Amino acid sequence: MTLKKESVDPALFALFTDLPRESVVEVEGSVHRSGKSRRGVELTPTSARVISRAESPLPLGVVDKVGAELATRLDHRTLDLRKPAVRAIFELRSSLLQALRTAYLRQGFLEVETPKLLRQGAEGGATLFPVEYFDQRAFLAQSPQLYKQMLIGAGLERVLEIAPAFRAEPSDTVRHITEFTSLDAEVGYIEGADDLRSILETVLVEAFRQVRRELEERGNPLAGDVPELSAPFPRIPFSTAEEWLGRPGAEADLGTEDEKAVGERAVREFGSPFYFIIDFPTRVKIHTFYAQRKDDNPRLTGYFDLDFRGLEIASGGPREHRYDRLVENIRTAGLDPALFPGYLEAFRFGMPPHGGWGFGVDRMVQMLAGLPNIREARLFPRDRYRLDP
């Protein structure tokens, strides 16, 4: 908008110069080309109406070059979201969700919705959020794990859910939040873990291609940060990762710094930002009761992680579909099978071999957008200290 005192009605000029930033106005005028404007046109106002006058001073700058602490930005999130650079993050997120959904549906998946209020969590333990449910106690869902397995038993064969999940972990890291978006998939009639990995990498190759194309069409500055992928992704046995770290046979899973070190070497050696870490030993990663152990080597699980440049993005593997072994696993985990009547019924009347994975949408957005903190990947993040706005 052109605002020159000599070419604008004095009353309009006084109105605009007195108006605080971020006020909402309705302006009429004449449009003409201009080489000085970023959009190539300028508006010379002839009339204006103030719809909403902003208070002054603003608690957070919108067009200022001066940065603000993340806590301040999140406290005043509606103003922060007005910044073009922040809006670009959520254009990327929207494109990613749409592209993933489309790619899964093309692979024959059925999108489903499962309950988020549960009598018992999928993984148990202290990471559950209890809630009052009339005269009972319930929990917020950590994942749709048990329900998506039940749906495989119902004959749906391939199911997909994109939904919120809740984990009461007292973590204050830059990659953990208590409410997150999980993309969960489950596949029936598999022969092994590689069936799952093949589907997952096919989906990601297609989805990333679509995201990059859409962001380029919109002129989003993050388009160039979406890599072009090709399948198959590298498979790195856990034992190889241990050797790279110089600690073969250790009794611990990969920590944050370990994942980064493995990621740097994996990208350097294979040239792919995505790679699978496979064949986790049971001595390192004790999976929950629904995880299937390898029959030919009970010291190994068929579970895998999908990492992106040193950060775990997805985790999954084959599930235990045999009723007796599943009940035994539940008891071994210190849980009572009587707490899972609906879940176990699905296994008593015929359950095919199946498996699946959970994919962290927020972490993927964080990595693609180059964000230092996962909280920036959500519109209104929740952690152990933040419950507002």
Q: How far apart are CA 323 and CA 244, in angstroms?
A: 39
Q: Check 73, 158, 167, 321 and give the catalytic one.
A: 167
Cβ neighbors of 361 (< 8 A, separation 6 or more) are: 93, 96, 97, 100, 162, 180, 181, 182, 183
Amino acid at 301: T
Cβ neighbors of 57 (< 8 A, separation 6 or more) are: none
- The question of whether 169 is a catalytic residue gets the answer yes
Q: Check 93, 363, 375, 378 and give the catalytic one.
A: 363
Q: Check 22, 157, 312, 328 and give the catalytic one.
A: 312
Cβ neighbors of 265 (< 8 A, separation 6 or more) are: 244
Q: Check 143, 182, 272, 315 and give the catalytic one.
A: 315
Please name which of 365, 363, 359, 387 lies closest in space to residue 90, comparing C-alpha atoms: 365
Q: Check 77, 176, 265, 325 and give the catalytic one.
A: 176
- The question of whether 257 is a catalytic residue gets the answer no
Cβ–Cβ < 8 Å for 260, 254:
no
Cβ–Cβ < 8 Å for 119, 147:
no
- The question of whether 218 is a catalytic residue gets the answer no
Find how far residue 73's CA is from the centre of its chain.
21
- The question of whether 76 is a catalytic residue gets the answer no
- The question of whether 52 is a catalytic residue gets the answer no
Amino acid at 33: R
- The question of whether 113 is a catalytic residue gets the answer no
Amino acid at 124: G
Q: Check 77, 101, 119, 175 and give the catalytic one.
A: 175
Please name which of 343, 342, 344 lies closest in space to residue 324, comparing C-alpha atoms: 344
Q: How far apart are CA 378 and CA 179, in angstroms?
A: 10
Q: Check 42, 157, 169, 328 and give the catalytic one.
A: 169
- The question of whether 167 is a catalytic residue gets the answer yes
Q: Which residues are catalytic?
A: 167, 169, 175-176, 312, 315, 363
